[in-house]
């Protein structure tokens, strides 16, 4: 089994390209189900989750071609409205085919996605929103059976809490519903805006994306076209934190500061230099250690939960104490014991972690517990003395494209190695 070997202590210098956002790419791929015409997507990252969704779309009848970072998806004739458990269980975003299949075909049978290492993440808000649009929903032996024989109709839907997944899913589905749909307390993430931009290019009528109120006016059909996926803000923030941990200067090619939301101010307060220039975002960190800075994870534009683990690794090396409060997912401190194996001083009390920064961490064998946790261990390992050996790379491969290759190109000593368990 492959593991990632990291020899820490080297500063990072050079140009590091930011890939397309996984969390956006997966949903705009699903949007191909809403039209019979070809949807071309550019800047699609080569990731395990993307490849897994391609398996499901192929099963449903989507013709897929292309190469590199470009995909051509044509759902001219769907051969199935069943998304089976064996495929959906491997990647949670697969569940989002339910609404588009229902909107286009009037029926769908999709496996429930199950739980997740970072919390239960239920889909009840997805299902309640579809019911509000006129769908009949039944649960049978782990599957959602949805039907809308008379078609979907617009509705006013207020989410009881901000849900990125439910906002995306409902917005896509409502594009083909009759009449007007209003989503209140909608998520505001950049990926929501990117998906809306893709849908508008396809002919959808959507207003208010990026705010807490989104208005969708249904149309009879959507067309194909070309859309470029937004840069991955989580990847950009993760590599910025790596610079904060080890020092150096990187141009995060293709990055945009507006995508970082509150994370930008937090990183500036911690002592990093961030500036936007032609070609991307430049991040610098020289000399003094980073400064212990408190954070609280929140929906965008607040500090993103998907950067919490990486930030904790940075704070483990900071000057002073920081308090990290996780409010989005209930089990998202699973990386703490692994960071402590590297010497981090962290105390967890419920959903709050107190991190006392130390000048030095020590390399050790560590194990990834989820996607973002794996990146936190890499941030810490890049700064630690000696060798860090990271196992369970399948988590990493789900969300960070060519990570070892990108890091080597900017000076890190990182390599995949075959190590017996």
Annotated binding residues, as ranges? 22-23, 92, 121-125, 306, 328
pTM of the model: 0.93
DSSP class of residue 351 equals T
Count H helices and E strands in the chain, helices first.
Answer: 14, 24
Positions of the chain with pLDDT under 50: 115-120
Q: Is-same-fold flag (2-19+231-418; 22-228)?
A: yes
Q: How far is CA 396 from CA 14, 205, 256, 393, in A?
A: 23, 36, 23, 5
- The binding site for phosphoenolpyruvate comprises 22-23
Task: Decide if 198 is catalytic.
Answer: no
Q: Which of 1, 65, 79, 116 is catalytic?
A: 116
Nearest alpha carbon to residue 339 among 310, 305, 359: 310
Compute the distance between CA of residue 165 and CA of residue 175 in angstroms, rounded to an integer.
16
Output the pLDDT for position 74.
98
DSSP 354: E
pLDDT value at residue 114: 58
> Is residue 176 within 8 Å of 104, Cβ to Cβ?
yes
DSSP, res 257 = G
What is the spatial distance between Cα 254 and Cα 262, in angstroms, rounded to a whole number? 19
Q: Tell me, what's the pLDDT at 118? A: 34
In order, the DSSP letters of 62-90 are -EEEEETTEEEEE-SS----EE-HHHHTT
Tokens of 403: 């990570």
Please tell me the distance from the alpha carbon of residue 121 to that of residue 331, in angstroms, as a whole number: 11
Say which CATH topology domain 22-228 has: UDP-n-acetylglucosamine1-carboxyvinyl-transferase; Chain (3.65.10)
Query: How far apart are the C-alpha atoms of 285 and 318, rounded to whole Å?
Result: 12
CATH code that applies to domain 2-19+231-418: 3.65.10.10
Annotated binding site for UDP-N-acetyl-alpha-D-glucosamine: 92, 121-125, 306, 328
* Res 47: pLDDT: 93
CA–CA gap between residue 408 and residue 25 (Å, rounded): 26
The residue to which tokens 């937004």 are assigned: 230
**pLDDT (tens digit, 9 = 90+) per residue, 28-64?**
999 999 999 999 999 999 999 999 999 999 999 999 9
Tell me, letter by letter, the H, E, C secondary structure of 93-155: HHHHHHHHHHHHHCEEEEECCCCCCCCCCCCHHHHHHHHHCCCEEEEECCEEEEECCCCCECC
Domain boundaries, given as residue ranges, for the chain:
2-19+231-418, 22-228
Q: Using alpha carbons, list the distances in angstroms from residue 143 to 84, 86, 98, 115, 133.
A: 8, 12, 11, 14, 20
Report CA-CA distances (Å) from 180 to 202, 203, 217, 310.
Answer: 18, 15, 4, 41
């Amino acid at each position: 089994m492959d593991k990632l070997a990291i020899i820490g202590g080297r500063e990072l210098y050079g140009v590091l390209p930011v890939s397309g956002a996984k969390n956006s790419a997966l949903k705009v791929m699903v949007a191909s189900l809403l039209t019979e015409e070809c949807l071309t997507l550019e800047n699609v990252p080569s990731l395990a989750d993307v490849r897994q969704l391609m398996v499901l779309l192929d099963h449903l009848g989507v013709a897929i071609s292309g190469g590199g970072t470009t995909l051509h998806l044509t759902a001219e004739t769907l051969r199935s409205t069943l998304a089976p458990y064996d495929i959906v269980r491997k990647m949670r975003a697969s569940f989002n085919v339910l609404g588009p299949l229902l909107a286009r075909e009037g029926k769908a049978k999709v496996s429930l996605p199950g739980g997740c290492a970072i919390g239960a993440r239920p889909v009840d808000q997805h299902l309640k929103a579809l019911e509000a649009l006129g769908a009949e929903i039944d649960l049978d032996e782990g599957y959602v059976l949805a039907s809308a024989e008379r078609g979907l109709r617009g509705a006013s839907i207020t989410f009881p809490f901000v849900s990125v997944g439910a906002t995306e899913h409902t917005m896509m589905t409502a594009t083909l519903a009759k009449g007007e749909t209003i989503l209140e307390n909608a998520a505001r993430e950049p990926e929501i805006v990117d998906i809306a931009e893709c849908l508008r290019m396809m002919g959808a009528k959507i207003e208010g994306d990026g705010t807490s109120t989104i208005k969708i006016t249904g149309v009879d059909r959507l067309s194909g076209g070309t859309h470029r996926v937004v840069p991955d803000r989580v990847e950009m923030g993760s590599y910025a934190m790596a610079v904060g941990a080890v020092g150096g200067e990187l141009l995060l090619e293709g990055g945009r500061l507006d995508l970082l939301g509150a994370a930008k101010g937090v990183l500036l307060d911690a002592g990093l230099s961030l500036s936007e220039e032609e070609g991307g975002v430049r991040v610098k960190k020289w000399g003094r250690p980073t400064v212990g800075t408190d954070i609280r994870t929140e929906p965008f534009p607040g500090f993103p939960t998907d950067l919490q683990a990486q930030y904790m690794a940075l704070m483990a090396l900071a000057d002073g104490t920081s308090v990290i409060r996780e409010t989005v997912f209930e089990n998202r401190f699973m990386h703490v014991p692994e960071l402590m194996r590297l010497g981090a001083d962290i105390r967890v009390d419920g959903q709050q972690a107190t991190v006392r920064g130390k000048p030095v961490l020590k390399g050790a064998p560590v194990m990834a517990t989820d996607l973002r946790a794996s990146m936190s261990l890499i941030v810490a390992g890049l700064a630690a003395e000696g060798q860090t050996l990271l196992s369970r790379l399948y988590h990493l491969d789900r969300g960070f494209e060519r990570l070892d290759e990108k890091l080597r190109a900017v000076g890190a000593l990182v390599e995949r190695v075959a190590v017996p368990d």
